[in-house]
Structure 1
Amino acid sequence: MITFYTYAQSGNCHKVRLFLNLLGLPYETRELNLAQGEHKTEEMLALNPFGQVPVLSDGDKTFSDSQAILVYLARRYGAEHWLPLDPEGLAKVVRWLAATAGEVQFGPAAARVAVIFRGEAPSDEVRNRSTRLLQAMSRTLALGEWLVGDEPTIADIAVFPYLSVAHHGLIDLTPFPRVRDWLARVAALPGFVPMPELTPAFAERLATVHASLSLKAA
């Protein structure tokens, strides 16, 4: 049995949840309260010395880091298209996996953290990083429906969560129709599950920051 240690509001955790569901795999969920430090207990540090989620246990094997977990699940349970075997396809998937720890993390993900966790507008640098990411995605998606190749890969799954809730960080996708169409294609995959709704506290912060920016623009 697969055990999935997670935090519902994390996009990095959600990409694993999404892929588990797309693969139709049964799993047990262990929701951790990060505010109470449940990811830093001795039990969790034994599973992941970095004290982070997500963590996935499959029998006697344990994996941490969302990208690493996606690779394991794709190779262990998925069809070949999720993680291509050919050198070119594999290299292109890895490039987008790297982007999730770079451009995505310091762009849309950072914008979301600023708004819903800290209650402040994202910085110009974060907005600019987000724009550059969206421009790069648009150029890539001009060549095909998916980030790599003719079928969905774990590159799409890895990038999807924080882009699907870009509005949480006040990042506007309106100028990027190819990205919006790509989001819709991912959402149409059999077994798809969306990011969970914001908690009331997070939703209140989003509304407050949005109202503050609207007043400044008026």
Structure 2
Amino acid sequence: MQCLNKKFTPTLYCNTHGVPSRACLLTIRNLGIDVDLKYIDVFKGQQNTPDFVKINPLHQIPVLHIAEDNHILTESRAIMMYLATFMKSSLYPTNDLNKRALVDSKLFFDATTAHPAVKSFINQIIRVGVKKMPSEIRENLKTLLNTLEYFLSNSEWIAGNELTIADFAILASVESIKCWGATFNEYPRLNHWYERCRPLPGFTENHEGARKLAEKMAKLLDEPLWK
């Protein structure tokens, strides 16, 4: 790909089951970037192979590799910010400091609150091996949904009245909860936002990744994923 007078050949190491990978893929699809995708199966331990550890010693995905300058970037939100900035996209505003700061605040919210709540739910089943979900883990997710409902009380999108990469970060987390069986009937603004996201490029890909992980989790739990 040729962009901004620079040859650009990116590779994304990812797994469509993972929330951070799906957030990056949503960003890539909406930016219209041609990316070489290399899928890392974390359930088979491919993140622990010597070749991958050379790329990211933390054994984590996603990872973005830019061939031209051998640049390696980790952390999903940093990858999203980098790609949108590189493309000079309004999805990550750079000319208005206040708008960009609002997007940043929601990305950090996702990193510190939204994704950890979702990740904790996943890890209780996949890593800890619980058969019944602790009530506080479920309550954290409901608190998250209430917070997102509040965010949307004064804006059309997560970080203002325009679509931004903050919506992709949150959509990846929200799609997981949706695939666990949440209906969002109690959260009309969130539900309206979710329905507005349906036509976005990458929406189906995001859903399919979340759905496959939900099916795997449901087989390991002795109660419904969502209740």
The TM-score by the shorter chain falls in which range?
0.7 to 0.9
TM-score by length of 1: 0.84
Q: 1:68 to 1:204 in 2, by over 3 A?
A: closer
Q: 1:127 to 1:202 in 2, by over 3 A?
A: closer
Q: 1:85 to 1:50 in 2, by over 3 A?
A: farther
> 2:197 is aligned with what amino acid?
V
Task: State how many pairs are aligned.
Answer: 213
Residue 63 of structure 2, aligned match among 31, 55, 59: 55
Residue aligning to 2:218: 206
Indicate the SS of the match to 1:152: coil
With 110-119 and 42-51 compared, the bigger mean Cα shift is at 110-119
> 1:34 is aligned with what amino acid?
V
Does 2:74 match 1:74?
no
> 1:27 is aligned with what amino acid?
V
Residue 15 of structure 2, aligned match among 7, 18, 31: 7
Gaps of 5+ in 2: 1-8
TM-score by length of 2: 0.81
Residue aligning to 1:93: 103
Q: 1:78 to 1:157 in 2, by over 3 A?
A: farther
Matches within 5 A, 1:28-67: 28-59=36-67, 60-67=70-77
> How far off its partner does 1:148 sit?
1.4
Q: 1:111 to 1:83 in 2, by over 3 A?
A: farther
Q: Aligned partners of 2:180, 2:96: CA distance in 1, in Å?
A: 36
Indicate the SS of the match to 1:151: coil
Matches within 5 A, 1:24-173: 24-59=32-67, 60-115=70-125, 118=129, 120-169=131-180, 171=182, 173=184
> 2:184 is aligned with what amino acid?
L
> 1:103 is aligned with what amino acid?
T
Does 2:182 match 1:174?
no
C-alpha contact (below 8 Å) 1:110/1:122 kept by paired residues: no
Q: Aligned partners of 1:186, 1:6: CA distance in 2, in Å?
A: 22
> 2:159 is aligned with what amino acid?
V
State the identity as a percent.
22
Indicate the RMSD between aligned Cα atoms, in angstroms.
Answer: 2.6
1:145-198 alpha-carbon deviations (Å, 9 max, x no partner): 101122111111111112012044455522112112112222222454432254
Gaps of 5+ in 1: none
Q: Aligned partners of 1:110, 1:84: CA distance in 2, in Å?
A: 33
C-alpha contact (below 8 Å) 1:142/1:178 kept by paired residues: yes
Q: Aligned partners of 1:120, 1:168: CA distance in 2, in Å?
A: 18
Q: Aligned partners of 1:97, 1:58: CA distance in 2, in Å?
A: 23
Q: Aligned partners of 2:64, 2:22: CA distance in 1, in Å?
A: 12
Q: 1:123 to 1:169 in 2, by over 3 A?
A: farther
Q: 1:108 to 1:43 in 2, by over 3 A?
A: same
> 2:84 is aligned with what amino acid?
A
